[in-house]
Amino acid sequence: MVARGDLGVELPLEEVPLVQKQIITKARRWAKPVIVATQMLESMIGNPRPTRAEASDVANAILDGADAVMLSGETSVGKYPVETVATMAKIVDSTEVHGMEQISAIDWDPHTTGGVISKAAVDVAERVGAAYLVAFTQSGDTARRMARLRPRIPIVAFSPLLKTQRELTLSWGIRTVLTPTVQATDEMVRLVDRTLKERGVVQDGERVVIVAGTPAGRPGRTNSLRVHKIGSV
């Protein structure tokens, strides 16, 4: 949590923007969700529109690589809570649609099996034009490792744990599916194929990149990457 109000108490005012960027970068390197908060749209406590500076503040938090931006007084005591949320969502959507290429890259050279496979999955998915990146995950770490690279391809995390599903809603660009525990690789592929088609988000012939660990059900065992063509099972 990058709470700029608290940082402003502990640090000189002029250091807060740089420290915000440093915290976001370090959190992304470690695949930890990072939230930017405090006075994001402060003027909307009493006004139906934000200042241009506030709009830029929200957009710059996204471009720095934050997973989430957070409101406080604007929605707890402000006169326009619904309008404030809608305004923030509009700024975030526009920034991600038009500014994805400007989101800060991270200097990340993985040395673990899970890290290497997650990074490779993003590269493979972009090169083959995959419709989705799919991660089977117990803890959520595999999905977060991919999300920190800010791929243009949407990520779907399949997990048997409701706790993990809820936690992943905070991370950038991850959709979640609550599933039973799957043991065999072929069973995973069939589940992905069936679930994505039932949701109407893929068509036969499209590719998805699936990242998982075997044996299933053990956190920290990400060790496989598979390119699957929808409808081929």
Q: Where are the domains of the chain?
A: 2-102, 113-230
pTM: 0.88
CA nearest 148: which of 67, 88, 220, 92? 67
The pLDDT-based confidence of 132 (bands split at 50, 70, 90) is very high
Burial class, 12, CB count within 10 angstroms (exposed 0-12 / middle 13-18 / buried 19+): exposed
Q: What is the pLDDT of residues 9-59, one digit of tens each?
A: 999 999 999 999 999 999 999 999 999 999 999 999 999 999 999 999 999
- Backbone phi, then psi, for 168, in 5-degree steps? -70, -15
Residue written as token pair 């809570």: 81
Q: Where does 113-230 sit in CATH, by number?
A: 3.40.1380.20
CATH fold of the domain at 2-102: TIM Barrel (3.20.20)
> CA 106, CA 29: separation in Å to the nearest integer?
7
